[in-house]
Amino acid sequence: MEQQFKYFAFISYNSKDTEWGKRLQRKLEHYRMPATLCSEHGWERTPIKPVFFAPTDIQPGGLTEELQERLKASKNLIVICSPNSAKSKWVGKEIEFFHKLGRTKQIHFFIVDGHPNSDDPDTECFNPIVKTLGLPEILGANIHEKIYRWPWMNKERAYVQLISKLLGVEFDAIWQRHRRLVVQKLIAWLVGAIVVLAALGGAWAINQPVDVEVKLDEVSLHNPDMPSVQDAVVTLTLDNETKTDTIHSLESASLFANIPHHFIGKEVHITTTITDTNYRENFLPVDTFVVLSKYIVIPVRRDERVYGDVHFRLWNPETEEAVAGVEVEIAGQKSTSDKEGQFSVFIPLEAQKRAYHVMASVPLEKDTIYMPCGEDDVILIR
């Protein structure tokens, strides 16, 4: 059985390359894969998430126990390579620690500055630990590789190189599509900009832009045992323009800056996709139209099924058979396992928790079920 990790990747970097780390984290977590590949591999359209990046979680420093746990919980290690990181002892320690975990093949290099194997401290981009450990076939995705005449296109190519290595797919399987979309977006943006400038002309000058604040309001029954909002991706569509921002909690808000004033009072399209602190879509998505104002509150409801639908199978390890006819009680809800050993109840929102105590008419190996669960989850009897 494949090991499960909390993080898809851990970004190792030097503090002087912080902006690159933020940019890479955002690029990876929001990269949408082709639908055909997602269907083939069983991925989500954005399969590379979450990506751990230290400034958003812990303070920089040595390999503390907490940082080691983050590395252990990461499937891949991405090293942002530059002369800065090459001189960083902490980057070296992170590479060495990940190597000792036996995940050498999951170490990936993203070169943002300097030159590989130059042996010049001022230009060398690989940390010395790379040679010390004898890591094989060090070929990093390099944003300065001169494949195209436009630097921004070479950067996009490097991003896709890294993504293809992380997901174990052929580079060309996603690059040709990505390049085509980038060119199309650029052309569309240029054409749109020309049309807008020609159409608006002097009228644009007299319209002062405004900032629009969007907040979320939970209108479902509040349950303090439920995890709170972690990330809510809010998309605001104004005619043919789309703006996206992230709300990190119900107490915070997203700010869409410099919205043309003439949109105020008009109907606009807003969508939200919300995950909780366990990175689950615990809230129902929102797809609605609202009248645009400077302050917008979007009502959201929890998806009662995520932590409310309890499904598992009772199994006897000695006889290797499902156990039917066992009465089970969870959070006050009772039911009996069917002939396949399957047990199913629904817990109302007011009683929902992240984990439930299980009581049964037979002894159990464990008496706790963690949510969400499904038919593949098993509880053993003694």
Per CATH, which fold does 305-380 belong to? Immunoglobulin-like (2.60.40)
Instruction: Give the start-to-end residue ranges of the domains of the chain.
Output: 7-177, 207-302, 305-380
Instruction: Find, among 44, 54, 47, 59, the residue nearest to 77 by Cα.
Output: 54
Contact 135, 107 (CB under 8 A): yes
* Per CATH, domain 207-302 is 1.10.238: no
When pLDDT is cut at 50, 70 and 90, the band that residue 83 belongs to is very high
Write down the number of H helices and E strands in the chain: 10, 20
* Mean per-residue pLDDT over the chain, rounded: 86
Q: What is residue 38's three-state secondary structure? A: helix
pLDDT digits (tens, 9 = 90+) for 312-347: 999 999 888 999 999 999 999 999 999 999 999 999
Give the separation between CA 76 and CA 94, rounded to whole angstroms: 12
Contact 33, 43 (CB under 8 A): yes
354 backbone φψ class: left, alpha, beta (φ>0; ψ -120 to 50): alpha
* CATH class, range 7-177: alpha beta
Residue 328's beta-bridge partner residues? 335, 360
Give the separation between CA 212 and CA 32, rounded to whole angstroms: 27
Contact 54, 12 (CB under 8 A): no
- Residue 82 is encoded by which pair of tokens? 């530059």
When pLDDT is cut at 50, 70 and 90, the band that residue 75 belongs to is very high
When pLDDT is cut at 50, 70 and 90, the band that residue 107 belongs to is very high
- Provide the pLDDT for residue 57: 43
Q: Do the domains spanning 7-177 and 207-302 agree at the CATH topology level?
A: no
The yes-or-no verdict on residue 264 having pLDDT over 80 is: yes
The yes-or-no verdict on residue 177 having pLDDT over 70 is: yes
Q: What is residue 48's three-state secondary structure? A: coil
pLDDT digits (tens, 9 = 90+) for 19-66: 999 999 999 999 888 888 888 888 888 888 899 987 644 445 556 788
When pLDDT is cut at 50, 70 and 90, the band that residue 239 belongs to is confident
* DSSP string over 295-336: EEEEEE-B-HHHHHEEEEEEEETTTTEE--S-EEEETTEEEE
- Continuous segment of H or E residues that includes residue 132: helix 129-133
pTM for the structure as a whole: 0.49
